[in-house]
Structure 1
Amino acid sequence: MKILHFADLHLDTAFTGSGMAPEIARSCRARLRKTLNRLVDLALEYKVDAVTIGGDLFEGDRVRRDTVQFMSSCFAQLAPIPVLIAPGNHDYYSPISPYARHPWPENVTIFKKPFPEPFDINDETTIWGLAHNTPSERKNLIENFKVPQDDRLHILLLHGSEVGNYVENRAAHAPFHLRDIQEAGFSFALLGHYHSARIMELESPIAVYPGSSQPLGFGEDGDHSFALLSSQPDFIECECINIATQAFHSITLNPQDASDMHNLAEEIVTSAGKRAAEANFLRLQLSGIQNKELHLDLDYLKEFLLNYFEHVAITNTMRTALDITELSQEPTVRGAFVRKLQQVLSENHDDQELVRMALQYGLDAFDGDELLK
């Protein structure tokens, strides 16, 4: 038995939060559609017995009618392979949602209730799926649930937040612990909500977040994949396979050793690391004390970087030596901080670089700035 599982595609997401130009945001939305086409092709290629979707398939408050028709057409290509959807907080099930109002293909099953309901995909395996009925479900939806005591393989399909071992910086929806999966009697859980991929274990693998199929903004690091689940009579095997073709790169760089602008630009490209196949977006913060020999030209820098990235946003928080001298004369806590570190630097201490970093990070903290991650 083989299942292809994905989640958090977020079709029709705006991409405006990343500061992109409208035409770039449109290309990102088109890339999400292309990703769904690719997932359908992969399901056919792997000859899976079912496709499962762990919620947030689309943006419920933005989804277009033609996007709903597009999804429906994609899933029809998979027939008779069942497509099972567990709506999440962005695409929650309601009487007026596309899940309720659109005539979906016969091979599509959409779970509607906020408690597990069964779907038998063969003589040995049952998928238990459930839906969010609100955009802010805060209850544990599998608490006190038990699967039947039989010889079947019971698998959970849920959009929710595992709150014990794997926490992302996003709101908790339908929170649960890994032990809840085990205590309910499930052999495995196919999950959605967290946007970076991870297979989670207790004594053995018990759950998977495939991550969002594409990263959707800055800060979404990690792998973005689909999961391939295979079961044998005595074990379950799960593999996450990266499918992302776009990437968001966030860099904080202290260019004090850069000899010229070309050298600095090349250092930034190298620091960004591996680039995705189709599209790459860069958020750059320049920090530290500016090298007197470096004539900073942000227009040149951005023009150079646009040869490698579709979108470039640069924040310059560098200070000159004159800035530091002026700050040291302030009758403030910040001024005292600068004077103390200037004194350490003047003593020719072995850790000069460390002290310079402490000076920069301290001044950033006084300004209320945070390091980009």
Structure 2
Amino acid sequence: MNTIKMRLSCMMFLQFFIWGGWFVTLGTFLGQNLQANGGQIGMAFSTQSWGAIIAPFFIGLIADRYFNAERLLGILHLCGAILMFLMYQATDFSTFYPLVLGYMLAYMPTLALVNAVSFRQLSSPAAEFGQIRVWGTLGWIIAGLVISYIFSWDAQAAIATGALKNTFLMCAMVSLLLGVYSFTLPATPPAGKQAGQRLADILGLDALKLLKDRNFAIFFISSILICIPLAFYYQNANPFLTNIGVENATGKMTLGQVSEVLFMLLLPLFLNRFGIKLTLLLGMAAWVLRYVLFAYGDADNGIWLLILGIALHGICYDFFFVSGQIYTNSKAGAAIQNAAQGLITLATYGIGMLIGFSVAGMITENYTTAAGIAWQPIWLFPAGFAAVVLVLFALTFKTEKQR
């Protein structure tokens, strides 16, 4: 690996170490340490969606036109370090919420910026980007292992003493490191204003024309709908595993990212052998199965059901979301490929997840009483919802050949 690739890999590792270092345990921290209810936890997780919705406008109107990507990346992570440190000091939800909202508004645009820096520095992005991006997944994995197996912040006794707040301090320090490190990255100047460029071009609104294609419109709507059950996993998986007594829950959840890497390698084989429709259906079916396993698993004899449910993450994510990105790329012409990817990201991490976190918060709060949390019906709801989306997609989406 040459020097440029090593520097970009380090950037990607730190970028996703930060995200995985606090976001996975956020629900557990809010419920156990800030006494937040289901609706408030849903609000906190929804900040990711608000960041995803605003990020394309921020990148299109500002970053792509006026600032070097690596400098803006550094500024945003330095701001993030300050906000993360203030989150570490927060003692109630009313103080914590505006901080996490501000942090996500700063962090979500950096996901596009690290990609922009990488693409501009690689001689063959299509062939080389995967080698860089995998270090991001490794960063997420290492963050979870550090929390569970080095510091044990997610152990039952440690949670009771408020140890999970240390995840914010750790991520503040790493964010500070990445902020400073970003200024040492190779210069990535903005593309600049293009003559005759319309606001619609900048914001990628031309990609909306893809919705005239019936199959793509069905896929687009299904992507929004399937993100509603997806939100249940991000919001509730760690609190659920911790609540029922699974030891080192955060570390065990990294099995999902390991699975993600493995199934990423298998994805081209499935697409070539079975086509886009069946691959997408397999991804949806995995969500149904995962939630059923969570509904009936436990920390004792049923622990294998929970481990299997976590391990299904590779199929859940790769077979629907990654294959969906590939499908979107095949439907869009060269002129609107970037805009099309932005559109599907807006639909999933923006609109779909925003609705999903709200629904997950309400459902969780509804099944939470003084006696405890009734996890089985909480997990059966997204299982049933995903099953309905699967059936509707199977009946309405027509088989088509990949281009």
Structure-1-length-normalised TM-score? 0.21
Structure with more strand by fraction: 1
Structure-2-length-normalised TM-score? 0.20
- Greater relative contact order (Cα 8 A, min sep 6): structure 1 or 2? 2
Bigger CA radius of gyration: 1
